[in-house]
Amino acid sequence: MSSIPKHPTSMQSREQLSIEQPLIEKRTKSTASNLQNDKPPSAQVVINTRPVERSTPLTDYLEAAGLSVVEIPMLALQSRPTTSDDMTLMRQWLEGDYKALVIVSPTAAASGLAVWQALEREHQDQQSLDNDESVNGQAKTDTALTDSSAPSQLIAVGEATASVLNDAQPPVPGHHVKQPSIANNEGMLAMPEIESLTAGDKVLIWRGLGGRRLLVDALQARGIHVDSIVWYERTMPINAKEQYKQWLHSFHSQKYSNELQKKASKSEQSLPIVVVSSGTAFEYWTDIVKAVETTVESLEPKMNTDAIDSLSFSLSDFYYVVLGERLANMVAEQQLRYCRVEDLAPETILAAIDSHT
C-alpha cells in the first residue's frame, strides 16, 4: 500500500494521511509542490467547522489555494469559572508536585497561563512585602513570571498550543515546551517524557470539558496519578443552524438554478467538503443537517421528489475530512465518505482535499 509523503513545515514534519471510505481504504501520493501547482478546482466548496478562535489559519490557507471556504463553526468555546479546587491544583503544580503539565489546546494554554501569571505575581508581591523591597509603597514591576524554571516538564499537543506559552508576556523564563511529532493523544503517549513516567508519578492536564480520554485512560492504566483542570467547555453556537441554512440557500442559488438542475444531478456535482475536528462537532453537525433536511421535506409537501432532493442535503451529500481514529469511526458508522488526517495543520488538510478532488 502506498502512502502520502509527509508535508514539511517550518517546525516539524507532518504525519501521513490515510484516505478512507466505508469498507474501503485508499492512499494516494501527493507532494507539497503539487499542491501549489495543481490546485483543486476553484468551484470546490469547503466548510470549515472549527471554532471561531481557531478557524482563520485554515480558511486563509485553503482560500489561498483557490478553494471556496465557508466558516460554519460547530463549537463555541466558553470559559468556566475557576474553582477553589482548580487553584489548589495550580498551587500544587507550582510547588513541584507534578512530573509534567500536559496542555491539550491553545484555549487551555491561555486560560492556565493567565492563572499561572496571577499566582506568580501574588507570590512576588508577597515576597516584596516580606522583604520590605517595595519602592515608594509600590511593588516592583515584573519582567518575568519567576526567576526559576517552570515547576515541571511542559508538554503541548501542538505548535499553536506551545506558542501561547512561548509568546507569553511577560515571558515564561527557564522553560522549554515540548511537542509530540504527531499532534494528538497518540503522539503525546509516544513521547519519551510520557513513556518514562512510572506508577505513582503525578501529571496535571489543562483541557476543556469532554474530548478524548485516551491520554488520561492510558496514564491511569499505568498507575500514574492524573489531575485535570477544565478551563472551558464546548457548546453549539446559537447561530450554527441559521448559518448552515443561509449557506445552503446560497449554494443552491449558485449551483442548482433551474437551468443547472436540467443539466446535472446533485450526484454529478462536486460534493462540498466538511472539515471536522471533534466528535462533539460532528454530533452537532449531524443534528443540524438532519433538522434542516426534515424541515425542507415537511414544508414542501407539493414538491416532487427531485425538487425536494435538489433543495435539501443529507449527511451523505458531503465528503468529510476528519481528525483521528475515533472521529473516523463515528463517520464510518454512518457509511459516509471521508478522509482521516492525523493533525489539523492547514497543509495537511489541503493534502487531504487534493487527494479527494
Cβ burial, residue 343 (10 Å; 0-12/13-18/19+): buried
pLDDT for position 155: 96
pLDDT at 38 > cutoff 90: no
Q: How many CB atoms lie within 10 A of CB 231?
A: 24
Cβ within 8 Å of residue 12, ≥6 positions away: 159, 179, 181
Mean pLDDT of 190-205: 96
Per this entry, what is the length of the chain?
A: 357
Least confident of 18-27, 219-228, 290-299, 346-355: 18-27
pLDDT for position 143: 41
Which residue type, as a one-letter code, is found at position 191? Answer: M
User: Pick from 181, 205, 187, 160: which is nearest to 324 by CA?
Assistant: 187
pLDDT at 203 > cutoff 50: yes
Return the ∠ at Cα 19 (arms to 14 and 22), rounded to 5°: 145
Q: What pLDDT, in 10s, does the model give residues 225-248?
A: 999 999 999 999 999 999 999 999
Q: How many CB atoms lie within 10 A of CB 247?
A: 17
pLDDT for position 297: 54
Residues 161/109, Cβ–Cβ less than 8 Å: yes
Mean pLDDT of 33-58: 71
Beta strands at 177-178 and 153-156: parallel, antiparallel or unpaired: parallel
Q: What pLDDT, in 10s, does the model give residues 324-333?
A: 888 999 999 9
Residues 225/200, Cβ–Cβ less than 8 Å: yes
Which residue type, as a one-letter code, is found at position 221? Answer: A
Mean pLDDT of 246-267: 65
pLDDT at 15 > cutoff 70: no
The model's pTM: 0.73
Q: Which set of grid coordinates corresponds to residue 124?
A: 512576588
Residues 68/45, Cβ–Cβ less than 8 Å: yes
User: Pick from 94, 108, 208: which is nearest to 164 by CA?
Assistant: 108
Cell 489561498 locates to 64
* 68-71 sheet: strands from edge to edge: 68-71, 45-48, 273-276, 319-323, 338-341
What is the three-state SS of the chain? Answer: CCCCCCCCCCCCCCCCCEEEECCEEECCCCCHHHHHHCCCCCCCEEEECCCHHHHHHHHHHHHHCCCEEEECCCCEEEECCCCHHHHHHHHHHHCCCCCEEEECCHHHHHHHHHHHHHHHHHHHHHHHHHCCCCECCECCCCCCCCCCCCCCEEEECCHHHHHHHHCCCCCCCCCCEECCCCCCHHHHHCCHHHHCCCCCCEEEEEEECCCCCHHHHHHHHCCCEEEEEEEEEEECCCCHHHHHHHHHHHHHHHHCCHHHHHHCCHHHCCCCEEEECCHHHHHHHHHHHHHHHHHHHHHCCCCCHHHHHHHCCCHHHCEEEEEHHHHHHHHHHCCCCEEEECCCCHHHHHHHHHHHC
99 vs 296, which has greater pLDDT? Answer: 99
Mean pLDDT of 295-316: 60
Return the ∠ at Cα 352 (arms to 347 and 357), rounded to 5°: 120
pLDDT for position 279: 92
Band the pLDDT of 252: cuts 50, 70, 90: confident
Average pLDDT, the chain: 79
Least confident of 51-60, 107-116, 279-288, 305-314: 305-314
Q: What pLDDT, in 10s, does the model give residues 54-69?
A: 899 999 999 999 999 9
Cell 475557576 locates to 82
Q: How far apart are CA 312 and CA 95, in angstroms?
A: 57
pLDDT for position 269: 58
pLDDT for position 267: 46
Q: How many CB atoms lie within 10 A of CB 79?
A: 13
User: Pick from 229, 253, 280: which is nearest to 74 by CA?
Assistant: 280
Q: What pLDDT, in 10s, does the model give residues 106-134?
A: 999 999 999 998 998 887 777 777 665 55
Which residue type, as a one-letter code, is found at position 93? Answer: W
